[in-house]
């Protein structure tokens, strides 16, 4: 019954701690209604459950700030406070201009001490024997003409050749990522092709894979369209109900997916051991979850190969630096509550 039910959920999906979703922008410019979020539903139902277990491979992709939502579902605010605003006020500072949130120096120790009785982590090396994950970065260089265009656009926020103007730094960053990938969206949402540097590199990777299945992550719809045009045999994940089954049976030469649609819970390890980042994501959660589609229990290959296609001297390398920084933060948090297998030996013997 509900009093003894065991709730299990992907903890990182609760990290926002908001009971309502953000309104969706409609095509006519209006906004749709706010809806109850997963966090809102679980917090409303929490009183009916005696026990809750939250699981995640990425419990805190953005650091300490992500812990309040999942912890509230566990203890209804007993350890970290009964609201996100109270949590922020106690342990974080927020820049009034950029709204960047940073923990105080003492915050990590106090927060981890508060939750250590209900939060623990195991790392793969503690309990699994996985093949090595080999990361291969491919630095592609834009030709001098396009590199000059890129740098001028980065400096002035205006690309006169295509009548594109970035109204602020956030828009500019997104546009630069598009440029690095080979196309850019115009005001009418059509895609302007610029170069094929990454597409050519992807073709080289496919040739070097000698017919083995390759899982490819893309960023923008124009990436998908251009990859589909260059590689007619590609399968777009989600277009068929049999995608996962066919991939794991080795029937798909290239499976193309957006990391947001293949981030959590999918088992692709039986179909191949080669993956490609055509364009990186700013989200550490999506980045790490995508890596784990192939590098997980049941992978029988001698190694898992992760190719990353990076446009030289572009914002691609800024994304890498951010992912590395967030990864260090999350590792610090999980290490603080990491359970070593030797500490479990008495329990395992008793069981």
Q: What percent of the chain has pLDDT over 90?
A: 47
Q: Say yes or no to pLDDT of 344 above 60.
A: no
Q: What is the DSSP letter of 142?
A: P
pLDDT reported for residue 339: 63
d(CA 306, CA 274): 6
**pLDDT tens digits along 166-218:** 988 889 999 999 999 999 999 888 999 999 999 999 999 999 999 999 999 99
Q: How confident is the model at residue 345 (pLDDT cuts 50, 70, 90)?
A: low
* The pLDDT of residue 4: 44
3-class secondary structure, 137: strand
Tokens of 320: 């890498």
- What per-residue confidence (pLDDT) applies to 3? 45
- Give per-residue pLDDT as tens, 249-267: 999 999 999 988 875 567 8
- The reported pLDDT for the residue numbered 204 is 96
Assess whether pLDDT exceeds 70 at residue 8.
no
Tell me the C-alpha distance between 5 and 254, whole Å.
41
In angstroms, the CA 141 to CA 134 distance is 23
Strands of 235-236's sheet in order across: 133-140, 304-311, 274-277, 214-217, 254-257, 235-236
- State whether the Cα torsion 243-248-250-256 is positive or negative: positive
Instruction: Please say if the pLDDT value at position 230 is more than 90.
Output: yes
Q: Average model confidence (pLDDT) for the chain?
A: 86
């Amino acid at each position: 019954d509900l009093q003894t039910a065991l709730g299990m959920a992907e903890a990182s999906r609760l990290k926002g701690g908001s009971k309502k979703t953000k309104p969706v922008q409609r095509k006519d410019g209006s906004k749709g209604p706010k809806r109850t979020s997963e966090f809102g539903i679980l917090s409303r139902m929490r009183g009916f459950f005696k026990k809750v277990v939250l699981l995640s491979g990425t419990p805190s992709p953005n650091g300490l700030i992500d812990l309040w939502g999942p912890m509230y579902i566990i203890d209804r605010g007993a350890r970290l406070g009964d609201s996100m605003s109270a949590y922020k006020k106690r342990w974080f500072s927020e820049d009034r201009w950029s709204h960047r949130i940073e923990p105080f120096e003492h915050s990590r120790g106090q927060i981890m001490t508060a939750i250590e009785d209900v939060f623990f982590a195991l790392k793969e090396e503690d309990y699994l024997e996985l093949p090595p994950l080999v990361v291969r970065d491919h630095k592609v260089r834009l030709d001098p003409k396009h590199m000059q265009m890129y740098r001028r656009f980065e400096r002035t926020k205006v690309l006169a050749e295509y009548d594109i103007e970035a109204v602020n730094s956030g828009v500019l960053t997104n546009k630069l990522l598009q440029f690095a990938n080979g196309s850019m969206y115009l005001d009418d949402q059509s895609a302007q092709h610029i170069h094929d540097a990454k597409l050519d590199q992807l073709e080289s990777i496919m040739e070097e894979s000698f017919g083995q299945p390759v899982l490819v992550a893309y960023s923008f719809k124009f990436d998908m369209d251009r990859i589909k045009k260059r590689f007619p045999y590609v399968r777009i994940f989600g277009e068929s109900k049999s995608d996962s089954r066919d991939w794991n049976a080795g029937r798909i030469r290239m499976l193309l997916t957006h990391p947001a649609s293949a981030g959590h819970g999918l088992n692709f390890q039986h179909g191949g051991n080669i993956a490609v980042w055509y364009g990186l994501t700013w989200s550490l959660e999506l980045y790490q979850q995508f890596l784990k589609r192939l590098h997980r229990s049941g992978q029988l290959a001698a190694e898992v190969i992760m190719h990353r296609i990076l446009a030289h001297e572009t914002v691609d390398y800024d994304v890498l630096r951010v992912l590395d920084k967030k990864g260090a933060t999350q590792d610090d948090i999980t290490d603080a509550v990491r359970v070593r297998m030797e500490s479990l030996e008495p329990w395992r013997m008793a069981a």
